[in-house]
């Protein structure tokens, strides 16, 4: 089934873009800690000298990349998210972020992607953790276009970057690269109101598709909602968020992350720090690990962040605050 204009999955989009950049700059290196992908085949074949499997050694991978960056190499590091963010967290802190070296960490399989692989392979904590590292840029693309943009931004960056790279097919959300300039984007339909928005829905990455469905449903209920994708989680475009919040009566945040420390927390911080007085409800993963296994959708239901639960809870919440919706 053709789900996006290019008819390719998000990882193919990533590696095609990386290959394009790598063809032009032989100083670009891609290093994996023994995590492969079909989408990587072409890059490996065509840019043999710019590819390395460093083995299952994430700590050394980060320190090694720091040494490469000292010699002006543009290094992209790749493996499954928890292994590349948490096992080697200290190396990221002291070898990349403190010296502010432009190395890109690509965590593959964001949030609950590795559903039935279990908690060891899932990453619900990474945003909260990585967000606390000074100098680190965090990008969370939601479709092929934003993934390609993330590659370009990371390549040009003069500081370390963390990209959350999902797996599978994602429908196109962005129409052109300009929409990504601000680090966040409002997906408005033609007849959406621009002022006096009933509900601003902030979401990111893998949850954008769900957020779109939620927006559509709420519209049927006469709730004029606006959807905002936070593509660049750090540094957050606070100015634009303040502006959006000031035009909204209420807001919700939807993420496939631990409820504390993710984008929900970020919006709370913006609200409190700027004396904005609108109600906010956060949807995210509560403070627990699920010990049963299932697919991604099943896990979202377990954690109560599936489309239906969010719609139901949002309606109850709005109705309790504003009678007649």
Partner 1 sequence: MIKKKKLNFLKEISIKIRKSILKTIYNAKSGHIGGSLSCVDILISLYFGKHLKFDIKKPELESRDRLIVSKGHATAAYYSVLAHLGFIKYSELSTYCKNNTRLATHLSERVPGVEFDTGSLGHGLGIACGLAFSAKIDKKKYKVFALISDGELYEGSVWEALLFASHHKLNNLTIIIDRNKQIVMDKTEDCIKIEPLKKKLTAFGYKVHEINGHSFIDLDKVFMKIKSKKNSVLNIVIANTIKGKGISFMEKNLKWHHAVPQKEEFEKAMEELS
Should residue 134 be labelled a site residue for partner 1 when binding is judged by CB under 8 A? no
Tokens 């929409």 correspond to 179
Choose which of 48, 71, 220, 272 interacts with partner 1 (CB under 8 A). 71
| In the complex, least distance from residue 270 CB atom to partner 1, rounded to whole angstroms | 32
The two tokens of residue 195 are 């002022």
Should residue 68 be labelled a site residue for partner 1 when binding is judged by CB under 8 A? yes
Tokens 């967000």 correspond to 131
The two tokens of residue 82 are 């928890």
| In the complex, least distance from residue 131 CB atom to partner 1, rounded to whole angstroms | 21
To the nearest 10 degrees (0 to 180), the angle between helices 307-321 and 208-220 is 50
| In the complex, least distance from residue 64 CB atom to partner 1, rounded to whole angstroms | 4
Should residue 90 be labelled a site residue for partner 1 when binding is judged by CB under 8 A? yes
Q: In whole angstroms, what is the distance from residue 62 CA to residue 115 CA?
A: 26
8 A C-beta contact, residue 162 and residue 85? yes
Should residue 95 be labelled a site residue for partner 1 when binding is judged by CB under 8 A? yes
| In the complex, least distance from residue 55 CB atom to partner 1, rounded to whole angstroms | 7
Comparing CB distances to partner 1, the nearer of 69 and 223 is: 69
Choose which of 98, 169, 298, 322 interacts with partner 1 (CB under 8 A). 98
Choose which of 36, 99, 118, 168 interacts with partner 1 (CB under 8 A). 99
Q: How many residues bind partner 1 (CB under 8 A)?
A: 23
Q: In whole angstroms, what is the distance from residue 269 CA to residue 263 CA?
A: 10
Going by C-beta distance under 8 Å and a sequence separation of 6 or more, which residues neighbour residue 261?
125, 127, 128, 129, 131
To the nearest 10 degrees (0 to 180), the angle between helices 238-246 and 263-273 is 70
Q: Cα–Cα–Cα angle for 46, 49, 51, nearest 5°?
A: 80
What mask, x for binding partner 1 by CB under 8 A, covers residues 26 to 65? ----------------------------xx-x-xxxxxxx
Going by C-beta distance under 8 Å and a sequence separation of 6 or more, which residues neighbour residue 220?
none
Should residue 76 be labelled a site residue for partner 1 when binding is judged by CB under 8 A? no
| In the complex, least distance from residue 86 CB atom to partner 1, rounded to whole angstroms | 14
To the nearest 10 degrees (0 to 180), the angle between helices 10-24 and 144-156 is 30
Per CB under 8 A, the segment of 94-102, 150-158, 165-173, 301-309 that binds partner 1 is 94-102
The two tokens of residue 312 are 């139901």
| In the complex, least distance from residue 163 CB atom to partner 1, rounded to whole angstroms | 20
| In the complex, least distance from residue 63 CB atom to partner 1, rounded to whole angstroms | 3
Should residue 89 be labelled a site residue for partner 1 when binding is judged by CB under 8 A? no
Comparing CB distances to partner 1, the nearer of 95 and 306 is: 95
Q: In whole angstroms, what is the distance from residue 318 CA to residue 89 CA?
A: 40
Should residue 143 be labelled a site residue for partner 1 when binding is judged by CB under 8 A? no
Beta strand pairing status for 74-80 and 103-108? Answer: parallel
| In the complex, least distance from residue 26 CB atom to partner 1, rounded to whole angstroms | 9
| Residues within the interface to partner 1 (CB under 8 A) | 54-55, 57, 59-71, 73, 90-91, 94-95, 98-99
């Amino acid at each position: 089934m053709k789900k996006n204009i290019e008819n390719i999955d998000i990882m193919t989009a990533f590696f095609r873009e990386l290959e394009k950049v790598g063809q032009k700059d032989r100083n670009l290196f891609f290093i994996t800690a023994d995590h492969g992908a079909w989408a990587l085949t072409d890059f490996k074949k065509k840019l043999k000298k710019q590819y390395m499997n460093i083995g299952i050694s994430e700590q050394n991978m980060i320190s090694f990349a720091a040494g490469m960056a000292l010699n002006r190499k543009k290094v992209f590091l790749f493996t499954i998210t928890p292994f590349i963010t948490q096992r080697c967290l200290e190396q990221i802190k002291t070898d990349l972020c403190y010296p502010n070296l432009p190395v890109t960490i690509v965590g593959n399989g964001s949030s609950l992607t590795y559903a039935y692989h279990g908690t060891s392979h899932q990453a619900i904590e990474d945003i909260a953790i990585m967000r606390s590292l000074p100098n680190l840029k965090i990008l969370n693309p939601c479709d092929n276009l934003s993934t390609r943009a993330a590659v370009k931004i990371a390549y040009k960056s003069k500081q370390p970057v963390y990209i959350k790279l999902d797996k599978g097919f994602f429908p196109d959300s962005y129409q052109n690269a300009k929409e990504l300039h601000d680090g966040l984007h409002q997906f408005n339909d033609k007849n959406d109101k621009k002022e006096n928005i009933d509900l601003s829905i902030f979401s990111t990455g893998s949850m954008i598709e769900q957020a779109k469905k939620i927006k559509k449903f709420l519209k049927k209920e006469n709730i004029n909602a606006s959807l905002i994708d936070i593509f660049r989680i750090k540094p957050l475009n606070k100015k634009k968020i303040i502006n959006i919040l000031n035009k909204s009566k209420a807001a919700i945040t939807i993420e496939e992350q631990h409820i504390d420390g993710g984008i929900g927390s970020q919006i709370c911080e913006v609200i409190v720090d700027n004396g904005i007085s609108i109600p906010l409800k956060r949807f995210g993963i509560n403070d627990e690990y699920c010990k049963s296994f299932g697919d991604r959708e099943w896990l979202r239901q377990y954690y109560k962040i599936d489309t239906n639960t969010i719609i139901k809870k949002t309606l109850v919440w709005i109705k309790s605050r504003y009678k007649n919706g």
